[in-house]
């Protein structure tokens, strides 16, 4: 039985920093209001002259490969998690493949929003454990700033999201009790419209859809029922973390580091308190990047590795909740 270990982690974020004070010039908000409700102080917005979802993913991937001491040609398959692909179709997985010069290898796109990176990691893990591939690139990348309503009407969501990319290299191993120990994936489509972007959807009459595209109506903006999302998130986060621990006969005390999806610092703090974890055992960077959806966990993993918080022997738990609703967790031994 093969296992899949994380051989390298990388990330890339756009150069442009947008602070809470910057947003207060565009809408009726303030640094205090945003910080109190989300914990966010700043985020990154892309530069349309140089950033794409595909090339940000490529930059994160190259960092991960370099840290793994691997060549780009070692990659045999790509799993790309994003809800903001550069084109309506094809997905950004093939664009990343092109950026890396890996023509011919398979590229799969995962569209599970905030849980997307864990879903993607789980898919890659299964491919490796079955013996199909030895080295897989898993990427989460988003450009969300173009879907934000930067006005008073959209301020409840516009202040939350940012752009960026993160990547890991999963590689086959025969070491037991190391690597991705287990992953746990869930969804509840009854709540699909509580956090979504409606357009460009296909399920409307031709004339209506064309009119929406031309006029760029509110269907292109993020809709979120914030209170409902929060209430479900704090329950499902807790449940899916405990599920991962139970599956591996582990306890909360065994976790060396928890990296939750960076959705809202209030959610992370609530889960930390409920689990009884110290500050040293929970990693958050939402204050610097906002919610980067599928990119948030790998960006945080990359920074935690840089800071020495992830090292040989570390038992890491990652968990996410978001649009769909979907939620997921994975337990990983380095």
Catalytic residues: 114, 261, 291
Whether 44 contacts 296, CB under 8 Å: no
**At which residue do the structure tokens 């207060």 appear?**
24
Length of the chain: 334
Whether 310 contacts 304, CB under 8 Å: yes
Full strand arrangement of the beta sheet holding 3-12: 3-12, 164-173, 135-142, 77-81, 106-110
Q: At what angle do helices 296-306 and 53-67 cross, to 10 degrees?
A: 30
Per-residue burial over 114-141, b if 16 or more Cβ lie within 10 Å, else e, is bbbbbbbbbbbbebbeeeebbbbbbbbb
Q: Which long-range contacts (CB under 8 A, 24 or more apart) does 211-216 make?
A: none
Whether 317 contacts 241, CB under 8 Å: yes
Determine which helix (DSSP H) or strand (DSSP E) holds 89, and give its type and residue range: none
């Amino acid at each position: 039985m093969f296992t899949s270990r994380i051989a390298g982690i990388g990330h890339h974020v756009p150069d442009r920093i947008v602070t809470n004070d910057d947003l207060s010039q565009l809408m009726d908000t303030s640094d205090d209001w945003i910080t109190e409700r989300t914990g966010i102080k700043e985020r990154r917005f892309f530069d349309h002259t140089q950033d794409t979802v595909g090339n940000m993913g490529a930059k994160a991937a190259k960092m991960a490969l370099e840290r793994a001491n691997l060549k780009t040609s070692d990659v045999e398959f790509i799993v790309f998690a994003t809800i903001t692909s550069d084109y309506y179709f094809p997905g950004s997985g093939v664009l990343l493949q092109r950026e890396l010069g890996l023509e011919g290898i398979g590229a799969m796109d995962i569209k599970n929003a905030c849980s997307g990176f864990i879903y993607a990691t789980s898919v890659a893990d299964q491919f490796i454990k079955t013996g199909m591939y030895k080295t897989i690139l898993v990427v989460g990348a988003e450009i969300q700033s173009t879907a934000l309503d930067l006005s008073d009407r959209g301020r409840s969501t516009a202040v939350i999201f940012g752009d960026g990319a993160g990547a890991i290299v999963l590689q086959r191993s025969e070491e037991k009790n190391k690597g991705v120990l287990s992953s746990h994936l869930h969804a509840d489509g009854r709540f699909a419209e509580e956090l979504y972007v409606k357009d460009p959807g296909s399920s409307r009459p031709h004339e209506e859809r064309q009119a929406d595209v031309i006029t760029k109506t509110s269907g292109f903006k993020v809709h979120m029922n914030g209170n409902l999302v929060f209430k479900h998130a704090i329950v499902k986060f807790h449940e899916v973390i405990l599920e991962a621990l139970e599956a591996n006969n582990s306890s909360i005390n065994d976790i060396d580091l928890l990296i939750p999806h960076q959705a809202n610092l209030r959610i992370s703090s609530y889960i930390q308190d409920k689990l009884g974890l110290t500050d040293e055992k929970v990693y958050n960077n939402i204050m610097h990047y906002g919610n980067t959806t599928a990119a948030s966990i790998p960006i945080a993993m990359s920074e935690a590795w840089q800071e020495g918080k992830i090292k040989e022997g570390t038992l890491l738990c990652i968990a996410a909740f978001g649009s769909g609703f979907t939620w997921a967790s994975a337990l990983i031994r380095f």
